[in-house]
Structure 1
Amino acid sequence: MKHILTALALVAAALVALRPGAPALAADGRYSAEIRRTEYGLPHVSAKDYGGLGFGYGYAFAQDNLCVLASWVVTLRGERSRYFGPKADSDDPVRPVANLVSDVYYKSVADSGVVRRLLTQPPPVGPSDELRRLVDGYVAGYNRYLEQTGAANLPDPTCRGKSWVGPITATDIWNNILDLDRMASGSQLKEFIVGEAEAEGAQPGPAPGSNAWALGRRATRDGHGMLLADPHFPWNGIRRFYQVQLTIPGVLDVSGGSLYGMPVVQIGHNATVAWTHTVSHAQRFTLYRLDLVDPTSYRVDGRTEPMGRQQMEVTLQDGTVVEHTLLTSRYGPVLAAGHTDKVAYALADVNAANLRAADEWLAMAKSRNLAELKAAQAAHQGMAFVHTLATDAGGTAYFADASVVPHVTDAQAERCAKPSPIPGLEEYVLDGSTSACLWGKDRDAVVPGIFGPASQPRLTRADYVANSNNTSWMTNPSAPLTGYPRVWGKARTDLEPRPRVSLDMIAQRLSGTDGLGAPGFTLETLQATSQGKRNYTFELMRPDLLKLCRTDSEPTASDGTQVDVGEACRTLAAWDGRATLDGEGAVLWREFFTRLERPTKPGDPVYSPWRVPFDPEHPLTTPRGLKHDDPVVRQALADAVLYFQTNGIPLTLTPGRAQHYSSIPIPGCTEGEGCFDRVRMRGRLGADGRYPEVDTGSSFMMAVELTPDGPRTRTILTYSLSTNPSSPHHTDQTALFSRGQWVTERFTEAEIAADPKLTTATVRG
């Protein structure tokens, strides 16, 4: 009888697994995983199958960061107004909006049924069985930890005992994957879709940035492939990285970082391949202008098409239910913004139905060389908004903008172009009244409407490829990538200071002129180079700044005050141009330089302080210099110095005293200043000589050397592993980052076992 029941149970489990979207159960109906933690709490999760691996990962993650994912699940379900009020900002760390706007948007995503439809599709459009098992296991592991601990006993006071904390579902994780893929498109246009009053005058926000180098055998001292990963993502919320090693013996062994709520490693390495990503400049959506027949219908090819309607209900804190209606079209949601009695605009999002990225990362993690990594990307075509840079043990460097891009040629963009009523969305507004303006098709594309792999910008080198969010044309100055449709990003454009200093850092290391010894990269010089704290705008403008100081010691501020800038000039002349913790002059330069970049009044063009303008024939050496004799420049210096003097702030103020995270001083400087290892604070320098807390910058840094004996890796998770303020791993790595230190990764069994702080736990459920 026992054998019959067991057989029936297995049959039932198999039938459940075949049902679209159903849990992919472990073979014995139970999950089991081993979680080993090394220094700084870093988890190494191993299991015999994908379900168990996901279970262990979800359990470990919940131990460290349950509150963040619990809050985000409330967001994905469209329930923030119910728990936090309709007017408070959502917990989106990239582009927060009012909770009511957020709720309407996410309820519309759920109402569309897109995830449900994708889960019925076979790979690569739908998820693989391995990924389904990972997701289901991850959910079960998270829920198991919550069940064992109890919401009332959670160690993190942020969500302890809160009514909004509860079990999650696989649908929540699938929605999280979809939302990440939409991060550079639909998810950043919530206000335009929903059309709440708070959205008036809103513009799409900047996407997170990154630095990445893949070094080939000709760039490294010992001929090994090497990689630097330096993503610049938010330091708070769901877009933080979590560091983990995931192992199924004989099947998968990958180490790296993944964004919260993602069950796969997104930036990382295995024994023979390492990869990372940077945010691409390619377009992720187009708007289609609809010629209206009446308020709820439009014409295409002379025929009238009715709009669809989505009726959402959002519950507020007091129990009141608010109804909101959104309109849809053949192209996608109809924007509330720009809607008149004659025209409307619809959003065609290239990532509207993209769950493929997670399977692509899983396949990349199993790649043994670059050929297999390329094949993984070609098979899935799911990278939503990032470049890929990779290297392997053979010492080859590889770059690809293998991201999902709408198939719009330059000729089509010009032929179909329509004006946009929305600031910041002027490009790629197409004529929606004719099917001749629909996205094109490539035979090698896995879904219609996108460019296939053969059309993507790619470069393979024996020396290096690099990207710091510049367009792909200067991936390696020796081999410019040009001739691609403009939808991929413009070629022959100003690189901006951060990508320029990145390429200059590589050039100096390869020539041995950076003071770090003989030419060529080692793991140690890769680490040192990446944390050099160079301020490139200061380097390029310093000679002309000193000329200004010599010719005008008392420039006039914008309020008419004559300001003695002598001490400021002496401070800047003595500064070495590096934004270290003790860099006297670093903050003064920033306050001067950022005043140069600001428009004098809203609507004015941004002022260019460069003495020599950009020349596409000399992209690595232009623009340069400072317009030292321009009254605008002199006034900016006077205004900056006057601010310091008026508030009693020392002109020698250092980054160590001015910028911080959780009370820990943080080095570095800002994007506009041309800093490779940049930081960002939402707000200006206060009268107390302090900036608001750092909220973006280098996040999960990883330097890897792929040697014949296995990978040598150094990492630093800048904001540390846990968001729980009572955890010993809340700021332990942040303190290391402040001092310029790294963590030596433990990848092999011998390395893990040798850790004197090793802890081991087996979890089941």
Structure 2
Amino acid sequence: MKLRPRLAVLIALVLLASAVVVVRTGAPAAAGDARYSATIRRTEYGIPHVSAKDYGGLGFGYGYAFAQDNLCVMASWVVTLRGERSRHFGAAAMSDDPVSPINNLASDVYYKSVADSGVVRRLLARPAPVGPSDELRRLVDGYAAGYNRYLQETGVANLPDPTCRGKAWVGDVTAMDIWNNLLDLNRMVGSSALKEAITGIEEPEADGPAKRPTAGSNGWALGRQATRDGHGMVLADPHFPWNGIRRFYQVQLTIPGVLDVSGGSLYGTPVVQIGHNASVAWTHTVSHAQRFTVYQLQLAGDRTSYLVDGQAEPVGLQEVEVALPDGTMTSHTLYTSRYGPVLAVGQTDKVAYALADANAANLRAADEWLAMARATNLAQLRAAQNTYQGLAFVHTLATDIGGTAYFADASIVPHVTDAKARRCAKPSPMQGLDAYVLDGSTSACLWGKDPDAVVPGIFGPGNQPRLTRADYVANSNNTFWMTNPSKPLTGYQHAWGEARTDVEPRPRVSLDMIAQRLSGADGLGAPGFTLETLRATARTKRNYSFELMRSDLLTLCRTHPELTSSDGKRVNVREACATLRKWDGRATLDSQGAILWREFYTRLMGPHKPGEVFSPWRVAFDPAQPLTTPRGLKYDAPEVWRSLADAVLFFQTNRIALTLTAGQAQRYSSIPIPGCTEGEGCFDRVRMRAAALGTDGRYPEVDTGSSFMMAVELTPDGPRTRTILTYSLSANPASPHHTDQTVLFSRGQWVTERFTEAEIAADPQLRTTAVHQG
């Protein structure tokens, strides 16, 4: 196709005016001599668009660009993956795991045991789909080389990030480090969340609850019947940590004619996890299906062997050595079984417990994301999921240019049927452990097999919850049941989650937001989604618990203007009630009453007396009315009275204004952050590691919440996309892109994505860097 002369001249002028090319090379190289080469173009907010002629070059350019922005985070995590934190930072200090932090010694013992087990080397020796594809191998090799290239050019002593500048623990990475990171991501809700129980260091209490990762998410896939123009749309709103290795990095990856994908990519991974290409868009939400089981071992006389079908099998021993700061080594013995590591909890002279993690040997997720990125329609996306079956713990919500909406819990779930779970059940070694505990003394309790499963022991695609619609599918970490209320999903094994259970406030407000947009009842104009109303709907900041309880709360306020606190003090609640009466129920920066409500609601939902279970809902949950129950407030209950009195007394005692706003109370890098918490029923939630409001009227810094938000519309003329990376592109406090998008997020603004060549070239801030390695 020929360009009209005037248009061609304009494009040439734009490119000439905006592009600054810097070629980085050790020595001049003739064309074709470079092993790796790539072009990195950065648009507003530093967002990189990496292009190359092959996968190795693409990985090289991506690794280089990522290192420019976030080398220190990756360097620290490599120390973690190698089990060397105690040596550099001390055994008692806390690790840098943003999801399940533990002390460095326990972290080192765990990660050394993973490395010494050889699991990654065995997977790398396997062909695809169990082992990595050739394309992914080249991508990983290039990524490590690109990271190292940047470090070699810059030098540790000259790194722009003061966090790791000149530090002895900073060095080159290897492809094995990248593979280990990919494995650990897949183990995040299994083995890696149970490090203490595996190592026996800082052993959890036997009656303490097992930790569950705090990652959440909202996801919508909108079909042609839900959108004004009949286009497919996706809203991605993953709730991942705001610090550390589980942050998202925004990137576009292009191999002309082969791959062109844009979206959010978790640190240290060379693929896009949540994103879109020209004709397909997808997102993920965390599924709470089973990821592992625990097997009770029947010990055979002593603790050195256990019985399976009456035959003794030896308990395996693994000696792990960890270096300490003074140069000495400390040795720890871990125990293994045919099922997996033997846990340090629940052991007696007769029984022990072993962890069987369905993701213990899973590197397939990265290939699945790579294949999804190449898909041109939903059929190809589904084929990618069926081929690799590697997504460790997430639902998938997707749409294509034809306007079909698709949901699947295509995650990895141990093949344990309801019948087997009942027949093989054993007591749990830990209270609150969210997993089946099965009889390990008989092979009849081993995981089952599906003929369409890529590896033994997991449910295959034919048994996964799936739904395809022309209107929408949605998920906010609820089970598959209410993906679309018009078509409830039932009949699946309980390992996938429960149907006909309380949907919970955040998923309920999500479905209500969609319903109001489809009917036009939300005040945003005519029914149906446009890209603009999709963004507006996602940022309404509704506090659903307040909406459900407001009427009864005001009744309480009218009838009880004075209440008695837990310590017997009389508390005047008139001013507090006036504040809540005026509040619009939104968690915007300037909403007066949002924090007062949170402090009341937190006390309301918390324990009131040891062993007491109190529900404040006036109308209990009814599975026949899942979207309207529970609701209301038991305004005549003493527990409710005390909760309100205690909250108001806290404000009065510490001279905190009852009108305290979210903008005053919650921050990230000194920037006020809107939003409210998971328990309150907030769609765009925030979380602070310590949730208590301080006596100064401030919460600890926000550490989890909406992370990489993406609203995309797939049109015949190309994707129209708005994004916001809530914590910004770079963890380097000296970077101009450390908080620039955070400021936008605070104000409710979005970034217009540049995806096409014309859009990228038209950016007046465009910076181009050519990188290669001979």
Q: Which residue of 1 aligns with 2:634?
A: 627
2:469 maps to 1:461? yes
Equivalent in 186, 190, 204 of residue 185 of structure 1: 190
Q: Which residue of 2 aligns with 1:472?
A: 480
Q: Which residue of 2 aligns with 1:361?
A: 369
Amino acid at match of 2:411: S
Q: Which residue of 2 aligns with 1:99?
A: 104
Equivalent in 388, 392, 417 of residue 409 of structure 1: 417
Equivalent in 383, 394, 397 of residue 386 of structure 1: 394
Equivalent in 87, 91, 113 of residue 92 of structure 2: 87
Q: What displacement does 1:111 show?
A: 1.1
TM-score by length of 2: 0.95
Structure 1 consecutive aligned stretches of length 4 or more whose deviation exceeds 2 Å: 26-29, 197-203, 603-607
Question: CA–CA distance in 2 between the matches of 1:249 and 1:726?
Answer: 34
Q: Which residue of 2 aligns with 1:536?
A: 544
Question: CA–CA distance in 2 between the matches of 1:541 and 1:485?
Answer: 35
2:717 maps to 1:709? yes
Note if contact 1:679-1:694 (Cα within 8 Å) is conserved in structure 2: yes
Equivalent in 255, 267, 272 of residue 260 of structure 1: 267
Aligned length: 739
Q: What displacement does 1:604 show?
A: 2.8
Equivalent in 290, 311, 314 of residue 306 of structure 1: 314
Question: CA–CA distance in 1 between the matches of 2:339 and 2:47?
Answer: 44
Question: CA–CA distance in 2 between the matches of 1:85 and 1:492?
Answer: 49
Amino acid at match of 2:293: T
Q: Secondary structure at the match of 2:366?
A: helix
Q: What displacement does 1:607 show?
A: 2.9
Q: What displacement does 1:202 show?
A: 6.0
Mind listing any 5+ residue stretches in structure 2 that lack a counterpart? 1-30
Amino acid at match of 1:126: G
What does 1:560-709 correspond to in 2, within 5 Å? 560-600=568-608, 604-683=611-690, 684-709=692-717
Note if contact 2:564-2:641 (Cα within 8 Å) is conserved in structure 1: yes
Question: CA–CA distance in 2 between the matches of 1:344 and 1:452?
Answer: 30
What does 1:703-742 correspond to in 2, within 5 Å? 703-742=711-750
Greater mean alpha carbon deviation, residues 475-484 or residues 423-432: 423-432
Note if contact 2:35-2:772 (Cα within 8 Å) is conserved in structure 1: yes
Question: CA–CA distance in 1 between the matches of 2:210 and 2:465?
Answer: 29
Question: CA–CA distance in 1 between the matches of 2:164 and 2:730?
Answer: 14
Superposed CA offset, 1:213-266 (max 9, x none): 000000000000000000000000000000000000000000000110010000
Q: What displacement does 1:204 show?
A: 1.4
What does 1:491-530 correspond to in 2, within 5 Å? 491-530=499-538
Q: Which residue of 2 aligns with 1:42?
A: 47
Q: Secondary structure at the match of 2:564?
A: coil
Q: Which residue of 2 aligns with 1:6?
A: none
Q: Which residue of 1 aligns with 2:204?
A: 199
Q: What displacement does 1:679 show?
A: 0.2
Question: CA–CA distance in 2 between the matches of 1:215 and 1:238?
Answer: 31
Amino acid at match of 2:149: R
Q: What displacement does 1:319 show?
A: 1.7
Note if contact 1:598-1:606 (Cα within 8 Å) is conserved in structure 2: no
Distance 1:426 1:177, change over 3 A: closer
Amino acid at match of 1:505: M
Equivalent in 140, 148, 151 of residue 135 of structure 1: 140
Q: Which residue of 2 aligns with 1:338?
A: 346
Q: Secondary structure at the match of 2:115?
A: helix
Q: Which residue of 2 aligns with 1:210?
A: 217
Superposed CA offset, 1:104-155 (max 9, x none): 0001101110000000000000000000000000000000000000001000
Superposed CA offset, 1:364-389 (max 9, x none): 00000000000000000000000000
Note if contact 1:723-1:730 (Cα within 8 Å) is conserved in structure 2: yes
2:133 maps to 1:125? no
Note if contact 1:420-1:426 (Cα within 8 Å) is conserved in structure 2: no
Question: CA–CA distance in 1 between the matches of 2:139 and 2:595?
Answer: 46
Q: Secondary structure at the match of 2:341?
A: coil
Q: Secondary structure at the match of 2:572?
A: coil
Question: CA–CA distance in 1 between the matches of 2:32 and 2:657?
Answer: 66
2:169 maps to 1:161? no
Question: CA–CA distance in 1 between the matches of 2:184 and 2:144?
Answer: 17
TM-score by length of 1: 0.96
Equivalent in 285, 290, 293 of residue 286 of structure 1: 293
Equivalent in 139, 149, 153 of residue 154 of structure 2: 149
Q: Secondary structure at the match of 1:677?
A: coil
Question: CA–CA distance in 1 between the matches of 2:118 and 2:218?
Answer: 36
Amino acid at match of 1:712: R
Distance 1:384 1:142, change over 3 A: same
Question: CA–CA distance in 2 between the matches of 1:78 and 1:523?
Answer: 46
Distance 1:27 1:624, change over 3 A: farther
Note if contact 1:192-1:199 (Cα within 8 Å) is conserved in structure 2: yes
Note if contact 2:424-2:438 (Cα within 8 Å) is conserved in structure 1: yes
Amino acid at match of 2:50: V
Superposed CA offset, 1:557-605 (max 9, x none): 001000000000000000000000000000000000000111135x635
Equivalent in 317, 320, 324 of residue 316 of structure 1: 324
Question: CA–CA distance in 2 between the matches of 1:491 and 1:80?
Answer: 43
Q: Which residue of 2 aligns with 1:349?
A: 357
Q: Which residue of 2 aligns with 1:15?
A: none
Question: CA–CA distance in 1 between the matches of 2:74 and 2:379?
Answer: 35
Q: Secondary structure at the match of 2:340?
A: coil
Distance 1:71 1:494, change over 3 A: same
Q: Which residue of 1 aligns with 2:283?
A: 276
Superposed CA offset, 1:175-226 (max 9, x none): 0000000001111000000112353346313330000000000000000000
Note if contact 1:716-1:737 (Cα within 8 Å) is conserved in structure 2: yes
Q: Secondary structure at the match of 2:283?
A: strand
Amino acid at match of 1:116: R
- Identity across matched positions, percent: 80
Note if contact 1:246-1:252 (Cα within 8 Å) is conserved in structure 2: yes
Q: What displacement does 1:317 show?
A: 1.0
Q: Which residue of 2 aligns with 1:490?
A: 498
Q: Which residue of 2 aligns with 1:327?
A: 335
Question: CA–CA distance in 2 between the matches of 1:119 and 1:411?
Answer: 36
Note if contact 2:34-2:772 (Cα within 8 Å) is conserved in structure 1: no
Q: Which residue of 2 aligns with 1:244?
A: 251
Question: CA–CA distance in 2 between the matches of 1:40 and 1:264?
Answer: 20
Distance 1:173 1:505, change over 3 A: same
Q: Secondary structure at the match of 1:441?
A: coil
Superposed CA offset, 1:487-529 (max 9, x none): 0001111011000000000000000000000000000000000
Question: CA–CA distance in 2 between the matches of 1:83 and 1:675?
Answer: 40
Note if contact 1:597-1:608 (Cα within 8 Å) is conserved in structure 2: yes
Equivalent in 424, 431, 446 of residue 432 of structure 2: 424
Q: What displacement does 1:423 show?
A: 1.8
Amino acid at match of 1:623: P
Amino acid at match of 2:631: R
Q: What displacement does 1:29 show?
A: 5.7
Distance 1:233 1:738, change over 3 A: same
Superposed CA offset, 1:369-425 (max 9, x none): 000000000000000000000000000000000001000000000000000121221
Note if contact 2:55-2:138 (Cα within 8 Å) is conserved in structure 1: yes
Note if contact 2:236-2:710 (Cα within 8 Å) is conserved in structure 1: yes
Note if contact 2:193-2:213 (Cα within 8 Å) is conserved in structure 1: no
Question: CA–CA distance in 2 between the matches of 1:606 and 1:71?
Answer: 43
Equivalent in 67, 71, 75 of residue 66 of structure 1: 71
Q: What displacement does 1:337 show?
A: 1.1
Q: What displacement does 1:426 show?
A: 5.8
Question: CA–CA distance in 2 between the matches of 1:497 and 1:434?
Answer: 42
